[in-house]
Amino acid sequence: MIGKHIRHIKRYQEIVAVLVKYGFGYIVKDVGLFHLLSLPKQIISDFSGTGNEQKSIGQRIRSMLEELGPTFIKLGQLLSLRTDILPEQIAEAMRELQDHVTPIDPQTVKKRISEEFGKPVEELFSRFDENCLAAASIAQAHYAVLKTGEEVAVKIRRPDIETVIENDIEILWDLASLVEKRYEWARTYQISDIVEEFSLAIRSEMDYIMEARTTEKLHDFFNNNDTIVIPKVYREFSTQRVLTLDYIHGYKYSELVSGPPEGIDNKVICERLVRSFLDQALICGIFHGDPHPGNLFFFSGNKIGYIDFGQVGHLNDAMKRDFGDLIIGLMKGNTEMLFRTISSMTNMPDDLNERHFKADLDVLREKYYRLPFKDVHIGKVIHDIFEVTKKHHISIPKNYTLLGKALITLEGLITRLDRNINILELAEPYGQRLLIKRLNPSELSKKFLLNGYDIVENSMHIPSLLRKTLTHLYKGKTRVEMKLPQLEFLLAKVDRAANRISFSIMLLSFSIILSCIIIGETFGSRSLLSNVPVLGIAVTVVLFMFMIVLLSIFRSGRF
């Protein structure tokens, strides 16, 4: 940790200063980063957590993350999905996070492309538009035309963004560790796991080879569907830092809201939008994680185009089954099924009170039991489920939260186009299909054989594991591991008390020394030192030592 502090000291200081600026100085002090502030800021800053009340906590967190830059903006966007752990008002504020970035200048863009392909831009494209289509904190996109005549969008990663993000991720790991040692809620919600999830997500988003692979899978999946358009990837013009795809240009969502253009029926568009998304999630197993209006285009004949697959979710067969069971459990009013499904879907805490949790599931079940599909809004269902899991400190994996957020976004889109369309009504056939597939004899036999194989395989390892355990017990090598999460906090308290005692003792010592010198000067006999200003020198030395001790204690943040 000390090495990281030294290596990234300037960035640590920036982060700590911004935390204090937006009213989170008490966290800085609690986790022991107080000393990273300059002395003037240590003196004038508010560390009580009661100041800076002009804005809501959600607005302050959003402004803070925007000021800290691209890594923290992306972290906020990830956390905006986690309504299972964050209050809705904070999550809502973070959904409004914006990338305030200046586009990369054209010459830098062209240099970046040339470095990637070993050729100047003019040799790669017959036309390359220097004005970017869109600019974000990680990348920006440009319109271009290949030598063979295809119109393409070229997505270029910003120079040096990898270094910035990797450094910030290291710091986030450090901060997560400090926060977990200090706060119970941080351990409950496993902040380190969130940082790990975030680091994987942002590294995947920066890897355009991975995005190209995902786009190709969905392109192939919808290849025989004339109503869904997924851009083609041009592999020969794509690398880890540059991605080239078909340029898709159609009607924007806002144009459908103001009045559908000729050849477009909003009702049909809504149905196809929902079904195409459910096809992705529940059949293909890969779904667009951010289907907002900017990532959708519409064409005559009620065709829909998806772009930007940097953020995608994945559902395996077990996850698809669990999601279907969750909806079925709600609609059938089966609390036990809901409990088993949520247990399978999530990470249940060791200290979960099952009786209270099941009581809350009963309330949730009664709310939706026997309610017609047309009267159930998927956004409200997901919100209620997240509220129950949050209450019991149950952590929901990223792919489920991403699916929930995407469904809520879709519901918002279709509601503005056609209020009579209901996602759950359209999803019902998918649930039935998953149920039929699960009850298929071949699927049941396959599952039985796999479970039987696991039982036999694990049983074979029991004797050796038992022998090792008994051997360790016999030799006295058994180790007991204890976790004392509050130990560091208690040590900090002891350190603070020791500093105060040391300060008091030194102050008393200085007072005694000064008193002796004053008495000696007043009542002592004359000597060779009579002409030397002993009192002035002594006072100066004492004050100098006093300031050094005071400054060292004060800068430790534990006074």
**Dist CA 3 CA 15 (whole Å):** 17
33-39, long-range: CB within 8 Å, 24+ apart, which pairs? 33/178, 33/557, 34/556, 34/557, 35/555, 35/556, 35/557, 36/9, 36/12, 37/13, 39/551, 39/554, 39/555
> What is the pLDDT averaged over residues 175-191?
84
Q: Which of 183-192, 440-449, 470-479 has the lowest mean pLDDT?
A: 440-449
pLDDT at residue number 529: 46
Of 248, 350, 345, 337, nearest in space to 299 by CA: 248
The structure tokens listed for 57 are: 């906590």
DSSP per position, 413-467: HHHHH-TT--HHHHHHHHHHHHHHHHH-HHHHHHHHHHHHHHHHHHHHHHHHHHH
Of 275, 236, 12, nearest in space to 124 by CA: 236
**Dist CA 252 CA 266 (whole Å):** 13
State the residue for tokens 């180790």.
Answer: 479
State the residue for tokens 């919100």.
Answer: 383
**Dist CA 124 CA 239 (whole Å):** 14
| Mean pLDDT for the chain overall | 81
pLDDT at residue number 463: 76
pLDDT in tens, 16-62: 888 888 888 888 888 888 777 776 666 666 666 555 555 788 888 98
| More reliable by pLDDT, 146 or 331 | 146
Q: How many CB atoms lie within 10 A of CB 27?
A: 19
pLDDT in tens, 107-124: 999 999 999 999 999 999
Residue type, position 108, single letter: T
pLDDT at residue number 542: 63
Q: Which of 70-74, 302-306, 504-508 has the lowest mean pLDDT?
A: 504-508
Of 302, 301, 311, nearest in space to 273 by CA: 302
| More reliable by pLDDT, 98 or 105 | 105
- pLDDT of residue 372 exceeding 90, the answer is no
Task: For residue 388, give every residue at least 6 positions away whose Cβ sits within 8 Å of its Cβ, in sequence order, or none.
Answer: 357, 360, 361, 364
pLDDT at residue number 457: 66
Percentage of the chain lying above the pLDDT 70 cut? 75
The band of 499, judged by pLDDT with boundaries at 50, 70 and 90, is: low
**Dist CA 126 CA 142 (whole Å):** 13
Of 167, 195, 190, 159, nearest in space to 12 by CA: 167
Task: For residue 298, give every residue at least 6 positions away whose Cβ sits within 8 Å of its Cβ, in sequence order, or none.
Answer: 250, 251, 252, 253, 255, 256, 264, 269, 304, 305
> What is the pLDDT averaged over residues 151-180?
91
**Dist CA 344 CA 89 (whole Å):** 28
Give the helix ranges, DSSP H, for 250-312: 253-258, 266-278
pLDDT at residue number 2: 46
Q: Are 248 and 152 in contact (CB under 8 A)?
A: no
DSSP-based three-state secondary structure for 104: coil
pLDDT at residue number 256: 92
Q: Describe the crossing of helices 398-417 and 266-278 by its angle, rounded to 10 degrees.
A: 170
pLDDT at residue number 394: 85
- pLDDT of residue 525 exceeding 70, the answer is no
pLDDT in tens, 289-334: 889 888 999 999 999 999 999 889 999 888 888 887 887 777 777 8
Task: For residue 548, give every residue at least 6 positions away whose Cβ sits within 8 Å of its Cβ, in sequence order, or none.
Answer: none
Beta bridge partners of 135: 140
Supply the pTM of this predicted model.
0.72
**Dist CA 309 CA 287 (whole Å):** 9
Q: Are 332 and 309 in contact (CB under 8 A)?
A: no
- pLDDT of residue 465 exceeding 50, the answer is yes
The structure tokens listed for 526 are: 């004359």
What is the number of residues in the chain?
Answer: 559
- pLDDT of residue 485 exceeding 70, the answer is no
- pLDDT of residue 168 exceeding 50, the answer is yes
pLDDT at residue number 182: 85
- In terms of average pLDDT, the best of 164-168, 486-490, 552-556 is 164-168
**Dist CA 122 CA 106 (whole Å):** 13
The band of 368, judged by pLDDT with boundaries at 50, 70 and 90, is: confident
The band of 444, judged by pLDDT with boundaries at 50, 70 and 90, is: low
DSSP-based three-state secondary structure for 382: helix
Strands (E), 12-158: 125-135, 139-146, 151-157
Helices then strands, each counted (H, E), the chain? 24, 9
Q: Describe the crossing of helices 317-332 and 398-417 by its angle, rounded to 10 degrees.
A: 60
pLDDT at residue number 383: 82
pLDDT in tens, 199-246: 988 888 889 999 999 999 999 999 999 999 999 999 999 999 999 999
DSSP-based three-state secondary structure for 201: helix
